Chain A
Amino acid sequence: MTSIDQRVTNFIRENFLFSDQATPLSPTDSLMEAGLIDSTGVLELVAFLEQEFGIVMADAEIVPANLDTIAGIAAYVAGKQSAAKAA
């Protein structure tokens, strides 16, 4: 796992699984289908990503492709960070 993967996984375990380490959480599991993220959970997740990784999420970026899996979140964050460095 990359650092981003790990930090996101830790956040999800702590906040949506109440630190339960036994529940399997694969990078490609759908967080929405698993019922881990709903309309309030996604706002917590967005706030975490913005604060933890220093990015700003536009409303148009709050879509399942960017937020539904840990792998998707990591790819999105890495893309935002790369874009910020290139700018």
Chain B
Amino acid sequence: MSEIRTFGPDDVPAVAAMFQRTFRDRAVAAPASLAQHIGDVFLRHPWYDPEIASRVHVSDAGAVNGFIGVLPLPLVLGERPLRSGMAGSLMVDDPAKDPLAGARLLRSFLNGPQDVSLSETANLLSQRMWEKLGGSTITALSLDWMRVLRPAGLAIDVASGRAKAVRLGRPAAALCDSLARRAGGAFFKAAAPDGVIGAETDEAGLLAALESLHAGPGLRPRWTPDVLQWVLRTAEIKEQRGPVHRRVMTARGTTIGAAVFYGAPKSLAWVLHVAARPGAEAKVVEELLAHADAAGFAGLRGRVTPAIHETLLREKAFFFRRGAFVAHGRDPALVAALADPRAVVTGLAGESWIRLIGGSFR
């Protein structure tokens, strides 16, 4: 008889193979590095909790044919510690053959002992399943943003993902963008805010900044320096996104913001995480955009949070829907706290930092 059970080390090869078939190239065997990463984030996470763990669906024939990945995420709201899990990578081999497997996996996770269950990458089907099980979509966290700085360069960058030869068009694109930026006035330019100094920093500098910036009363992870360092190191390489950048913003000697993003000049910068001191959100975003402009990036994109939404609107970003942020909890106050501008539940706190999103495995 089919069953749901906790994901264990012996399941890693089967889950890696299923991930390869479902989300990558089914004609190629799963690389060892993919299996290694799946084991790292879902079994060797420093916060690993066997009660809030990933699960597999095992078919009648005894084969692993379904998976839901769960990242443990101890949270705190004010002084109240909370147990939480961030789910993703929900997949089933041949769902038409076993349409109940995905539903069972999700239901099993949501019935766990955690105070609140989260996912920031729910597709439409997954979102509906969460909602049928009593979950809610947090609209304020379900949008991606993009700020275009060099439209022709951005078009080349996006198209070159499909055909590398398109990159030969970069000189022409640069000329078009130069003309567009002159003709369009301020539309494609991002101005630096007064009195803010931004600089690249190293891991230690970023860690120190994030610790001070995320010490507020909002719903946030119970990060310790060693856990946050582990997350940052795991997120360091995302080959499809480009090199990692860690940026810290200061004003009058005080750290007011930090950001982690990926990318190389002339391409799109992928913003993973933005942290800002309350009241300084606008200046932090403005500095990040201005820096990307000065460095020659074609544009930036990232996940909207309530803290930076208004600034992004003013700064001429546009918004679109990718994965939905969904939540399930018995206490409505916890679900409401997710949409509070002080909440820290995406980026480094979410699922997007793992290399299954934006990494290459060879």
Contacts and interface: CB of A to CB of B under 8 A. Distances in A.
Interface residues of A, number: 16
A58 B276 CA distance: 44
B1 interface: yes
A49 to B, nearest CB: 13
A43 B111 contact: no
A60 B1 contact: yes
Interface of A: 32, 37-40, 42-44, 46-47, 59-60, 62-64, 67
B4 interface: yes
Nearest to B97: A32
Given A47-B132, A59-B4, A39 B99 contact: yes
Given A62-B104, A63-B1, 5 more contacts: A38-B99, A40-B132, A42-B99, A59-B111, A60-B4
Given A59-B104, A59-B111, A60-B3, A37 B99 contact: yes
Interface residues of B, number: 19
A30 B90 CA distance: 26
A60 B100 CA distance: 11
Q: Is chain A's binding surface mostly helix, strand, loop or mixed? A: helix
B51 to A, nearest CB: 15
B107 interface: yes
Q: For B103, B104, B111, which residue has the most chain A Cβ atoms within 10 angstroms?
A: B103
B95 A62 contact: no
A42 B103 contact: yes
Interface in B1-46: 1-4
A44 B111 CA distance: 16
A67 B3 CA distance: 15
Contacts of A39: 95, 99-103, 125, 129
20 contacts: A32-B99, A37-B99, A38-B99, A40-B103, A40-B132, A42-B100, A43-B103, A43-B129, A43-B132, A43-B133, A44-B132, A46-B107, A59-B104, A60-B3, A62-B103, A62-B104, A63-B2, A63-B100, A64-B100, A67-B100
